[in-house]
Each structure stands twice: as C-alpha cells, then as structure tokens.
C-alpha cells in the first residue's frame, strides 16, 4: 500500500512526457541524491507517507547543497505525511496534493507551463 501513491505519480509524470527513474520505497537521502547526480536529474520527487521520515527531507536538501547542486535540482514532495507547511519548513521547492498536481508542479519548476 505504501507505494500506491508513488506509483500513480510515476505513471502520471510518464504520461505527461517526463522521463522518470523510480527508486522504489524506503530510499535513503544519500540514494536520492546519488541517483539525481548520476542521472543528471532536474527534479527529485519525494513521496512521504510516514511522519517519522519527514525529517529526512532536511538531509536531502543538505546533501544537494553540500554537492553545490541545490540550485540545479528542484525538489517536490507529496504524500499524506507532508503539507505546504512542511514544504516551507524543509526548504522544498514545491508541494503536490495529488498526481495531477505533481505534474503541474514539475512543469512549473521546469518552467514548462502549458
């Protein structure tokens, strides 16, 4: 059940024409950032469904800053454990309420408004 929302977002992004690398569930901040660097990602989308994992958002942003790529890789979050307030608290670029909104947010982050 934990991956259902993530899977829906992945398919929505793919249907919208985005190339998506699905890292699965229980991904460490280090793995997110390593994959983003390796794949030359423009956006990292993070599904957060468990309250205990919310603080890991800080680690992802910190690692992006440490590698001096925070300004090159945008971040978007979604899931039942996060909100617009959490987005602001953890310096995430965008918050999506559902899969359709995630597509819209990614387009906005990449300035691809249509």
What's the mean pLDDT when you consider all of the chain? 93
CB atoms within 10 A of CB 75: 23
For 75, phi then psi, to 5°, come to -125, 140
Q: Which pLDDT band, with edges at 50, 70 and 90, does 114 fall under? A: very low
User: Is the pLDDT confidence value at 3 over 90?
Assistant: no
Residue ranges and CATH numbers for the domains of the chain are: 4-109 (3.40.50.280)
Rounded to whole angstroms, the Cα distance separating 103 from 78 reads 11
> Are residues 45 and 23 in contact, defined by beta-carbon separation less than 8 angstroms?
no
Query: CA separation (Å) from 9 to 30, 57, 62, 68?
Result: 22, 18, 25, 28
What are 20-57's pLDDT values in tens digits?
999 999 999 999 999 999 999 999 999 999 999 999 99
What are 57-73's pLDDT values in tens digits?
999 999 999 999 999 99
State how far Cα 99 lies from the chain centre.
12
Nearest in space to 61 (alpha carbons), one of 88, 81, 80, 83: 88
Q: Which pLDDT band, with edges at 50, 70 and 90, does 5 fall under? A: confident
pTM score of the predicted model: 0.91
Percent of the chain's residues with pLDDT above 70? 96
């Amino acid at each position: 059940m934990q991956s259902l929302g993530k899977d829906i977002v992945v398919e929505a992004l793919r249907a919208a024409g985005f190339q998506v690398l699905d890292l699965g569930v229980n991904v460490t901040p280090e793995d997110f950032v390593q994959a983003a660097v390796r794949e030359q990602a423009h956006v990292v989308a993070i599904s957060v469904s468990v309250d205990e994992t919310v603080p890991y958002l800080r680690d992802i942003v910190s690692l992006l800053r440490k590698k001096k790529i925070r300004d090159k890789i945008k971040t978007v979050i979604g899931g039942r454990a996060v909100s617009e307030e959490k987005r602001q608290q953890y310096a995430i670029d965008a918050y999506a309420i559902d899969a359709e909104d995630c597509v819209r947010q990614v387009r906005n982050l990449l300035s691809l408004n249509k």
